[in-house]
Amino acid sequence: MADKPVVYVLNGPNLNMLGLREPEIYGSDTLDDIAGRLEDQARELGLEIDMRQSNHEGHLVDWIQEANARQAKAVLLNAGAYTHTSVAVHDAIKGVSVPVIEVHLSNPHRREAFRHISLVGQAAKGTIAGFGALSYTLALDAAAKL
């Protein structure tokens, strides 16, 4: 039996604190809660999930490049604060052929002005934001249809 197509789900800084950090903005779900739902959904879609989190920018760059080398179906990327600051993550996305879908729990456009600029979004295929943990499942559904 052939391997299932893989979707990388990459999470940046502070997302390991989901469920504890500002639940009024980010919700009460932990990253493990989201991972469990994505695993179930991936199974239904005939996909495999490779979910990772790091507080380090270079790890995100390495993983985007790895997803490309592995010929992943897509990357779902919640780059956290690096969304607004990382030319390195932007350039990594631009340098690969694997489609990257930007994911955010909150709607950055309803928050502080510095969050309105997304270097990730400028390079990504599309963005899903503002739906809490549902943003991830909506993004996985989109990835399955690419």
Angle value at C-alpha 103, between 7 and 119, nearest 5 degrees = 110
Q: Which residues of 60-76 are buried (b: 16+ CB within 10 A; e: fewer)?
A: bbebbebbbeeebbbbb
Mind telling me the catalytic residues?
A: 26, 104
Angle of helix 31-45 relative to helix 134-145, nearest 10 degrees?
A: 30
Of 121, 69, 61, nearest to 92 by C-alpha is 61
Q: 2 Cβ partners below 8 Å, 6+ apart?
A: none
